[in-house]
Amino acid sequence: MIDNTVVSLSEQVGSLDVLKLARRLSGDLRALILVYKSPEAVPPPLLKTTLKQLQTRLRAEKVKLTPKEEPAKKGNSGGTGKKESRPEDEASSSSKSDDCVNKKQDSAKSDSDSEMQTSPAKSEEAKEPPSPGPLDDLELLDKTINELIEIVEKDH
């Protein structure tokens, strides 16, 4: 069964949609890691070349994804940050007297009130961890491939 997995992977490595199958491939490769960590199991020579091909395709996909995300982050933070800071400066200078009144009102609130208001938000965040994106899946696959390559190279 394990040999069939290796042969199947080697036959399909050129036509696999690495981006869509990254999680499944990671799982399959982790199973191979468990098998080939055993001292009795000898990985076939075909596995190393297949992993190198898969790693090359994976890195090409990562390069495609990475430039798309970086300019979006830079554009959003650079362009809007300056615009937001100017109105804040103006608003803070015009409302200094209002701040004194607000501070007195805020100090009248009890600590338990503020804790109760913030704790539901914290629990909601804890319940819903961010789902991994395609780049995270590719990173996981890359780590798994590297680990399996290390195991295969030790045996040869």
Residue type, 68: K
Which residue's structure tokens are 């800071």?
85
Over range 76-92, report the average pLDDT.
45
In a domain, 91, yes or no: no
Nearest in space to 141 (alpha carbons), one of 36, 35, 18 = 18
Q: How many structural domains is the chain composed of?
A: 1
Give the pLDDT band of residue 2 (cuts 50, 70, 90).
confident
Calculate helix-pair angle for 134-155, 18-36, nearest 10 degrees: 30
In a domain, 139, yes or no: yes
Give the pLDDT band of residue 1 (cuts 50, 70, 90).
confident
In a domain, 48, yes or no: yes
Stronger pLDDT, 155 or 41, i.e. the higher one: 41
In a domain, 124, yes or no: no
In a domain, 129, yes or no: no
Does 52 score more than 70 pLDDT?
yes
Over range 69-84, report the average pLDDT.
46
**What does the pLDDT look like over 93-146, one tens digit per residue?**
444 444 544 444 454 444 545 444 544 555 555 555 556 688 899 999 999 999
List Cβ neighbours of 110 (8 Å cut-off, separation of 6 or more).
Answer: none
In a domain, 151, yes or no: yes
- Rounded distance between C-alpha atoms, residue 101 and residue 106, angstroms: 9
In a domain, 154, yes or no: yes
In a domain, 116, yes or no: no
Does 14 score more than 50 pLDDT?
yes
CA distances from 57 to 15, 38, 105, 155 (A): 10, 28, 61, 24
Structural domain containing residue 54: 1-76+135-156
